[in-house]
Amino acid sequence: MDFIGCAFNQISNMVAKTHYLWGAPAPLVLRGPSGGYVHGGPFHSQNPEMWFVHNPGLKVICPATPYDAKGLIKAAIRDNNPCIFFEHKYLYRRIKGEVPAEDYVVPIGKANIVREGRDLSIITYAAMVHTALEAVEVLKNEGIDLEILDLRTVSPLDREAIARTVKKTNKVIILHEHSRTGGLAGEIAAIINEEAFDDLDGPIIRIAGLDSAVPFSPPQEEHYLPKVSDVVREARRLKAF
């Protein structure tokens, strides 16, 4: 996915508009690896999903687990709309899970509560789901109970699930790997403002990558990308607000 920009015109100006222009379905699935934490540098660590989230006519999918990866790829293949399927390269050979042999699909556009919690919500997707789960292990010893909402699909967004988790915990952190400016957190914050503003008991917190190319140097990459310690720090601050 680092080089998907080479086909940007064909994807954004052609296939995304096919149905709108002349009513023809475009059952195309574009899948490939994305993401950092592998010391791949600026050309092999990118998260370009927002280029396409802003593009009407495309569905953008970012699974975090083997179960969801199978169910969502099947749903994408059976969908008459063009789907872009981001597979986070850091999760390859790192995250294991049960995958039923039988046929099943995971609905596109439906988020999933990975962990129920009461004190604050973390809204996230892809590899950051596992960063949030690691933070749970630290914070539960301090009596801070996190709820984790895995979006699974970043376009279309599950507005109802976003509002529901905020209404439940009243405090929210939005966590994503790609750069902060123009990132998905801004859109989710707007949804919360529209759907659950009166339920907030604290500021909406964004944790994201820096506004820079992804560094090649491992220490610099670690500084650039969101970490468990970032989630722990901001969760402590928000809980005390």
pLDDT tens per residue, range 159-168:
999 999 999 9
Contacts 24+ apart (CB under 8 A), 49-52: 49/84, 49/86, 49/154, 49/178, 49/184, 50/178, 50/182, 50/183, 50/184, 51/4, 51/5, 51/8, 51/12, 52/11, 52/12, 52/84, 52/155
- Taking residues 194-218, what's their average pLDDT? 96
Q: How many CB atoms lie within 10 A of CB 115?
A: 15
Q: Does residue 44 have an active-site annotation?
A: yes
Q: Where in the chain is the domain with CATH 3.40.50.970?
A: 4-91
Q: What tens digit of pLDDT does each residue of 111-161 get?
A: 999 999 999 999 999 999 999 999 999 999 999 999 999 999 999 999 999
**Which residues contact residue 23 at a Cβ distance below 8 angstroms, ignoring those fewer than 6 apart?**
none
Instruction: Report the predicted TM-score, pTM, of the whole model to 2 decimal places.
Output: 0.96
Reply yes or no on whether the pLDDT at 44 is more than 90. yes
Q: Which of 39, 44, 54, 130 is catalytic?
A: 44
Look at residue 93 in the predicted model and tell me its pLDDT.
86
Question: DSSP states of 31-43 as a string?
Answer: EEEE--SS---TT
The CA–CA distances, whole Å, from 219 to 69, 174, 207, 215 equal 30, 24, 19, 9
What CATH architecture applies to the domain 112-239?
Answer: 3-Layer(aba) Sandwich (3.40)
Q: How confident is the model at residue 15 (pLDDT cuts 50, 70, 90)?
A: very high
Q: Where in the chain is the domain with CATH 3.40.50.920?
A: 112-239
pLDDT, averaged across the chain: 96
Reply yes or no on whether the pLDDT at 170 is more than 90. yes
Percentage of residues of the chain with pLDDT beyond 90? 99
Three-state helix/strand/coil letters over 97-147: CCCCCCCCCCCCCCCEEEECCCCEEEEECCCHHHHHHHHHHHHHHHCCCEE
Q: What tens digit of pLDDT does each residue of 65-95 get?
A: 999 999 999 999 999 999 999 999 999 989 9
Rounded Cα distance between 146 and 126, Å, is: 18
CATH superfamily of 4-91: Thiamin diphosphate (ThDP)-binding fold, Pyr/PP domains (3.40.50.970)
